[in-house]
Amino acid sequence: LNVALNNIERIENLDGCEALRKLDLTCNFVDVEHLASVRSLRTNTELRELYLTGNPCAKWEGYRPYVVASLPQLDKLDGVDVTRSERIQAVQQLKHLEKHLAVAAEVNRKENE
């Protein structure tokens, strides 16, 4: 599903797309504040490729490990293969990443007020 270059701010309402294998959200407006919405894709068990390149959330230092840990079904993120060791490390860091994401989201929210 290619929804690149739209005004999408959060990832939602795709749970009915049971056969979704590739989701391209390139160059949208998913910010660090809404990065946690990526977890809604966990129910898309066939999803293998996700593209979030060009979204503000991709600038956050914990972006890749957070997404990799949140979506165990992914084989590729932004066109780059997810390795087994990368996934193991990401899962081990997830609690820490969630805390940092909450702080980053709050900072972002205050900056945008």
Tens-digit pLDDT profile for residues 76-101 = 999 999 999 999 999 999 999 999 99
DSSP H helices, 41-112, are: 63-70, 84-111
Percent of the chain past pLDDT 70, that is, above it, reads 100
Tell me how far apart the alpha carbons of residues 20 and 29 are, in angstroms, rounded to a whole number.
Answer: 21
Sign of CA dihedral 10, 29, 72, 63: negative
Q: Which residues contact 102 (CB under 8 A, 6 or more apart)?
A: none
Tell me how far apart the alpha carbons of residues 113 and 97 are, in angstroms, rounded to a whole number.
Answer: 24
